Structure 1
């Protein structure tokens, strides 16, 4: 009997040790994640209490909770203004271009890096393309201004005059700026975004390419039937995350690069810059909070709808 009892206790002891070690591992992982959890709670969850400002006429002397309720008046102020359509159009249109072209160029650059054989050459190219991502938009704004400075002082105008053309006053003609902002955005972000796709490519088994070469597949066929199918999940995830922010513009880009010039508002004024001016010039906290709430709700709905479409087409690539 004693032998049987001892034999029965061993599995229990082993199970307890396994559970204890697993519990310790979970605690260690929780400690590692604790700073991110604290930041998320402080800067994302606690500010949610400010949602009520969207339905109030905020007064500093009364505070958030004692300020009078105004219902949907703050929302009406924005959506009935003459500039609402312009800023919404610019925000959605430019973000759509950013998502499309950034994804395409990031994937192409990642594939190009993957095809290069020299590791030193790959690191050199990655470093060069990644460096712009570490520059603040304030610095980028001054760099762009040096290139597009009005008159003969700007570098671009000097090149135009060198070929016999007339200098262009870039900061008074809004038609050029969708292309200018797109080029600046690609220069600033393609190197960083390509890292996600390059990391995914590094996980492809080399045997796929060896088998394709034995079958006589061309480089374009390898791209179509091997590389792109492996990249499809990460492309979908990145696109879904970007769609969630399609109603939010990159404030640093749209404020610092066009230098907040009024003549460029027809193509460079977006929701975020409009709200900034309303807050700084009018001091309308309620309207700013209302627009921020609308941005969050639109992003949330777009993520749900897009994920639902992806789940219908390819369930394995959906976020949830």
Structure 2
């Protein structure tokens, strides 16, 4: 349940913010500013998860974390973040979006550059404002790309983002209730040298993830085929 729930949060938030960043970058007319902004939003993708872990510790660690110091300064009650499982689905989603949304916007931005300018010229002649052009022209033209990328992401919905989750949560059993996914659970099982069946169990889990991912893609591709045949994968 954690694996599916976290991946759904990642897919929804990641798609929304990647699309939003692409639309915002596409509206920038100054070439040098557009390139600088694109470089800044892509930069977090190249930051090591170890560095991200240190940043998260600096922000949320115990009573000395930056967030708790800010809460104390304004007279609010502090939170022991690393002992509060309920907040971590949201925190992990925020970190995932910060790290990957800029990188994910590249495909959308590349698709946007291929749209014919004649659509927008006709809309401007008819008096359409910029937000109306985005809503009635850009988003409908982007729909096939959004659907295909979402289908591909759904194919890995049973794979947890091991690097992100284990890099930040580690072996903190207090947070397992909300953050433990299939991949981190399997990794801990593989480290248990006393369990002679750990390798065969891990192989079975990997097979389960692949089969379920394949079934998921088949199901949602079938739904898309009925709703929007032009956007299906196959």
TM-score, length-scaled by structure 2: 0.96
Partners of 1:200 and 1:230 within 8 A in 2 = no
Partner of 2:205: 291
User: What is the correspondence of 1:148-187 to structure 2 with a 5 Å cutoff?
Assistant: 148-151=60-63, 153-187=64-98
Structure 2: distance between partners of 1:108 and 1:198? 10
CA drift of 1:259 comes to 2.9
Give 1:258-277 correspondences, 5 Å limit: 258-277=169-188
The corresponding residue for 1:195 is 106
- How far is 1:219 from its partner? 2.4
Give CA deviations for 1:275-312 in whole Å, capped at 9, x if unaligned: 11111023510111111100000000111111111112
Q: Which runs of 5+ in 1 are unaligned?
A: 1-88
Quote the Cα distance in structure 2 between the aligned partners of 1:138 and 1:128: 20
Secondary structure of the residue aligned to 1:294 is helix
**Residue 125 (structure 1) shift:** 1.2
CA contact (8 A) 1:141 1:259 kept: no
What is the CA deviation profile of residues 29-56 of structure 1, one whole-angstrom value per residue up to 9, with x for unaligned ones? Answer: xxxxxxxxxxxxxxxxxxxxxxxxxxxx
Figure out how many residues of one structure are paired with residues of the other and give that number. Answer: 231
Q: Give 4+ residue runs of structure 1 displaced > 4 Å after superposition.
A: none
Alignment of 1:241-256 (within 5 A): 241-256=152-167
Shift of 1:138: 1.9
1:112 corresponds to which residue? Answer: 24
CA contact (8 A) 1:138 1:252 kept: no
Task: Report the CA distance between 1:319 and its aligned residue.
Answer: 1.2
- Per-residue CA shift, 1:236-279, capped at 9, x if unaligned? 11001100000000101110112321100110111110011111
1:122 alignment partner in structure 2: 34
Task: Tell me, yes or no, if structure 1 residue 103 matches structure 2 residue 15.
Answer: yes
Aligned to 2:44: 132
2:228 is matched with: 314
Distance 1:155 1:114 in 2: 35
Quick check: 1:157–1:168 contact (8 Å CA) kept in 2? yes
Structure 1 residue 90 corresponds to structure 2 residue 2: yes
| Larger Rg belongs to | 1
Does residue 278 of structure 1 match 2:189? yes
Question: What is the match of residue 25 of structure 1?
Answer: none
CA separation in 2, counterparts of 1:256 and 1:121?
34
SS of 1:249's equivalent? coil
Preserved contact between residue 138 and residue 256 of structure 1 (Cα < 8 Å): yes
Residue deviations 1:8-33, cap 9 Å, x none? Answer: xxxxxxxxxxxxxxxxxxxxxxxxxx
Query: Helix, strand or coil: the match of 1:257?
Result: helix
